[in-house]
C-alpha cells in the first residue's frame, strides 16, 4: 500500500479521501479577523453570490471563508422560497451559513490554491464520497480560491453547486476565476475603506 499524500488524511474505512490538512488555517483566521469577514453575513457578498448563481445558471452560490473547523458562507444564494432549499448543517439550520469543514470541496480549493471543476462529483472517487453528495444531493461543483494580495494565502472561495451534473467547460472555469478576482478586489477595497 502506498503512503498517503502528505497534506491529505484518509478516513478509517480507506474508502474516501477526506478533508486535506490545512496548515494555513490559524494565519487565515487572523487575516480574516483583520479584514472583518468570516463570521457574519455580508449583504454585498449575498448580492455577489446571487449574481454568480445567475451568471452560471446554478441554484446555489457561496462566498465561503474557512477556519480550522468550519466553513462560513458570508455570501449565500439559494433557490427561491418556493423551491426546496438546502440545510447545510442541522444545528445551524436557522442561519444556513455554517457547514463542517469536512463537507464539500471548498477546503480542497483552499489548500490547493487552484480552481476546481467537478462536472459530476461521482466521476471522482476522491470526491464522490463527500457527505454533501448523500446528505444534500450535490452532483456538480465549480469553485475558485480567493488569494490574499498581502500574504498570498487562500482566504476562502467562491463556488456554485448543483444537484445535477453540469458541463461547466472552459467558459465556466474562466467565469469562476474572473469572479474570484473580482471578489478579491472587493475585499481589498473593504480593507482600504477600513484603513487597515
Task: Spell out the domain ranges in the chain.
Answer: 25-194
Tell me what pLDDT residue 195 has.
62
Inter-CA distances, 81 with 30, 78, 92, Å: 35, 9, 18
SS3 at position 10: strand
CATH of segment(s) 25-194: 3.30.450.40
* Per-residue pLDDT in tens (0 to 9) along the chain, 196 residues: 433 333 333 343 344 446 788 999 999 999 999 999 989 999 999 999 999 999 999 999 999 999 988 999 999 999 853 344 444 433 333 347 988 888 888 999 999 999 999 999 888 777 777 667 777 778 899 999 999 999 999 999 999 999 999 999 999 999 999 999 999 999 999 988 866 5
Do residues 68 and 26 touch, judged by C-beta distance below 8 A?
yes
Tell me what pLDDT residue 116 has.
95
Tell me what pLDDT residue 184 has.
98
Do residues 162 and 137 touch, judged by C-beta distance below 8 A?
no
What is the pTM (predicted TM-score) of this model? 0.81
Give the count of beta carbons closer than 10 Å to the beta carbon of residue 188: 14
CA distance 188 to 69: 25
Given 3-state DSSP classes, what are the helix, strand and coil percentages for the chain, each rounded to the nearest 5? 35, 20, 40
Tell me what pLDDT residue 88 has.
42
Amino acid at each position: 500500500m502506498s503512503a498517503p499524500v502528505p497534506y491529505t488524511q484518509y478516513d478509517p474505512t480507506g474508502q474516501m479521501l477526506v478533508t486535506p490538512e490545512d496548515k494555513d488555517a490559524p494565519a487565515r483566521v487572523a487575516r480574516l479577523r483583520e479584514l472583518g469577514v468570516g463570521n457574519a453575513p455580508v449583504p454585498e457578498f449575498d448580492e455577489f453570490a446571487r449574481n454568480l448563481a445567475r451568471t452560471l445558471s446554478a441554484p446555489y452560490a457561496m462566498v465561503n471563508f474557512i477556519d480550522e473547523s468550519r466553513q462560513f458562507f458570508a455570501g449565500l444564494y439559494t433557490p427561491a422560497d418556493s423551491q426546496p432549499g438546502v440545510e447545510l448543517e442541522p444545528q445551524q439550520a436557522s442561519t444556513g451559513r455554517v457547514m463542517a469543514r469536512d463537507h464539500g470541496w471548498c477546503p480542497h480549493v483552499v489548500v490547493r490554491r487552484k480552481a476546481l471543476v467537478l462536472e459530476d462529483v461521482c466521476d471522482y472517487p476522491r470526491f464522490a464520497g463527500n457527505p454533501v453528495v448523500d446528505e444534500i444531493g450535490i452532483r456538480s461543483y465549480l469553485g475558485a480560491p480567493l488569494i490574499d494580495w498581502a500574504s498570498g494565502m487562500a482566504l476562502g472561495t467562491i463556488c456554485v453547486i448543483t444537484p445535477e451534473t453540469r458541463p461547466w467547460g472552459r467558459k465556466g472555469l474562466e467565469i469562476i476565476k474572473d469572479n474570484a478576482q473580482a471578489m478579491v478586489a472587493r475585499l481589498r477595497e473593504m480593507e482600504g475603506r477600513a484603513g487597515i
